[in-house]
Amino acid sequence: MSSAIGAALDRVDGRLKVTGQATYAAEFAVKGLTHAALVPSRIARGRITQLDTSAAESAPGVLGVMTHRNAARIPRLKSVVSEQGAAVQTVLPLQNDLIRYAGQPVAVVVAETYEQAQYAAELVRVQYEAQPPRTRLEQYAHEAYPHQPMLGIVSDYSRGDPPRALSEADVCLEQTYTTPIEHHNPMEPHATIAAWDATGRLAVYDTTQGVHLTRQGLAEALGLPIDKVRVVCPFVGGGFGAKNVVWPYTILTAFAARHLGRPVKLALTRAQMFTSAGYRSQTHQELKVGARRDGTLTAIVHHAIAIGSEIGEFPETAPEVTKILYACPNVETSVRLVRLDIGAPSNMRAPGEAPGSFALESALDELAAALPVDPIELRLRNYAEADPDTGMPWSSKALRASYEQGAERFAWAQRNPAPQSMRDGGLLVGWGMATASYPSYGFPAAATAVIRADGSAIVRCGTADLGTGQYTVMTQIASDALGLEPEHVVVQLGDTEQPFSLGASGSSSVRSVGPAVRLATEDARNRVVHLALEDQASPLFGYSADAIAVERGDLFVRHEPARRESYVAILARHGLGQVTGTGNVDLVSTPAQHRVNAFGAQFVEVRVDPDFGLVRIHRALGVFDIGRVINRKTARSQAIGGMVFGIGMALLEHTQIHPQFGKAISPDLAGYLLPVHADVPAIDAAFIEVEDPYVNSLGAKGAGEIAVTGMAAAIANAVYHATGRRIRNLPITNQALL
């Protein structure tokens, strides 16, 4: 039996999804279920002066209306950023008459049916004393403040003497780059079902990337022991970070269910996805880059301003990538936040690094053009053999090979470096590239593995599958350790009654949960091995554990393969229905002597219509170093998805906030543009597979976010090459090019 790890195994949950058998949070059948609707604030800042719920309360089917006048008091929640809590939005609605952002819930209506709840929500009458909202980052930049430390990331950083190095540089570049507010908009909108039993135990079905983190936030808000809360989410229809924390709508649903004594479901509308589940912060980034004539970097200064909030904080740490990507001796970075009245920002796929790489990699391309030197050559001249921030060696790094393989596959040598020099008929052709970089986070995780009497296995962990293939890769890891065919392994995820996992975020799942699953399955296997080794009736009796291998459910002696016995026979002889193994991993501080990071190279060819300024992606290639690849098919799918995410970031996505009203101008998928098939060419994604010997027992880092980074810069750099116009503000629009 060959190893299941590395195989291009089809998704084990694919049939469930295409046949509609996969149950998502809003689809659980709960007896006596009622339905809730939010009444959103129509202003962005001020207070409620009058609130009339009488018409709603008397509407058909209405069971109750919850407002700040009758809602339970909820303490300010601990922040996931600075207090190891579970929330980004730490100040909850319905606590007083204050309005802090447009769309803030001012009432929750519960009725027998969804339609009755939605209708009654329209009957709630609210009058406000409005104040002008703070909506423009640039207007209040002078009030910017440092953010709280997050995962060891601080507001201010410096090494060397950047001011002196800039003053002595042969070439100095100074530019400003901006990125807009972006919203996650996964296919599955957020939803919660909350149900209490007679013992005071709460069961919640929630669209969450981390059931254990959501349970923690619910227990804190409701004042419950954590073992009185169960959270279930076996399938997630996309998250991108929006479902990574507990949001107010989940807590309000639980309160409504307790207040009414009935199960309650609250499903956000698409418009409410723009007000109730975070967003990627707008950024304003100023870069100064100094270099010698030969392109050697001597100084980088990278200052960023992003959105803060009165109700919660998530810093968009854009300059983090600048600290580690290139061997530059003098670096200064800072992040400042500005309090605006548009709700709390949150993490969105590749937070920090996505907007930060756009600025840094655009600046590197500008420097390459100014010198002039080939953009890849410039990056190679400043290649960081060790982490420039700490001096520690990388756990593994194949970025140089990513450049080389990418350049060869893309035929980069055929590029004419002069802007506007390449054409296809009447279209301008541009080639651009950029470096991809994202840290590899490790979080605590645990798993159990059960070998059953019929020779099959069940693996359990309370992590999530966001649709990226978690069920499949964990099946492969378990299959490999147990010596079972993948179809004989069942993986169960997404329930707080399963072992702890912090959740699917930060590209951490394979790095964290994978080793826990491996330990659990190895433990279960070894328990069965020892049963056989100590049993005189077994053909394996008396051998050492090191002499035993396993394949297709049989244990056998390596140098005498005929001496073998199946899991089924061993458990049957001992009268056991199952054998259970456990695995626990704490990767928060390991490996201590190495810096762990994923890398890659992005290449893009664009076609630009000079008459209309229309940009089309003609082809794209990403070559990535993510350590050992557990599943070539799902990893490639993730990479392609990340690159498409980058196309949206570069050319389309932009939430526009009305400056007077503080509202998203087009809170729907007609006004918020996402890439569709017509926007996306055939994308090529490949991996430089170098097993990382330090990161974990699997040698794997994580693939979820690396492919987003660098993509927007590669597109912007290609647009410059095609047109000679340098666009430093995303998204790149035809208006900007015209």
- What are the domain boundaries of the chain? 25-132+187-238+243-274, 351-440+593-737, 443-585
Do 351-440+593-737 and 443-585 share a fold? yes
In the numeric block, the tokens 């939430």 are attached to 655
On the CB side of 326, how many CA atoms lie within 13 Å of its CA?
29
CATH topology of domain 25-132+187-238+243-274: Aldehyde Oxidoreductase; domain 3 (3.90.1170)
Task: Reply yes or no on whether 316 is catalytic.
Answer: no
Q: Please name which of 269, 441, 435 lies closest in space to residue 361, comparing C-alpha atoms.
A: 435
End-to-end CA distance of the chain: 60
Tokens of 471: 């069920």
Distance CA 124, CA 170 (A): 66
pLDDT in tens, 354-413: 999 999 999 999 999 999 999 999 999 999 999 999 999 999 999 999 999 999 999 999
Q: What is the pLDDT of residue 590?
A: 54
Cβ(185)–Cβ(349) under 8 Å?
Answer: no
pTM > 0.85: yes
Q: Please name which of 588, 570, 560 lies closest in space to residue 531, comparing C-alpha atoms.
A: 570
The partner residues of 305 in beta bridges, in order of sequence, read 284, 336
Cβ(628)–Cβ(654) under 8 Å?
Answer: no
Distance CA 36, CA 24 (A): 18
Low-confidence ranges of the chain (pLDDT < 70): 1-2, 587-592
Tokens of 114: 């969804």
In the set 522, 565, 653, 705, the catalytic residue is: 705
Q: What is the pLDDT of residue 207?
A: 98
Distance CA 299, CA 290 (A): 5
Cβ(256)–Cβ(264) under 8 Å?
Answer: yes
Q: Which CATH number fits domain 351-440+593-737: 1.20.1640.10, 3.30.365.10, 3.40.50.10860, 3.40.50.1950?
A: 3.30.365.10
In order, the DSSP letters of 548-591 are: EEEETTEEEETTEEEEEEEHHHHHHHTT-SEEEEEEEE--TT-S
pLDDT in tens, 544-574: 999 999 999 999 999 999 999 999 999 999 9
Q: What is the pLDDT of residue 591?
A: 61
Q: What is the pLDDT of residue 84?
A: 85
Distance CA 642, CA 648 (A): 10
Q: What is the pLDDT of residue 152?
A: 86
CATH topology of domain 443-585: Aldehyde Oxidoreductase; domain 4 (3.30.365)
Cβ(343)–Cβ(242) under 8 Å?
Answer: no
Cβ(603)–Cβ(433) under 8 Å?
Answer: yes
Distance from the Cα of residue 442 to its chain's centroid: 14
Distance CA 585, CA 578 (A): 24
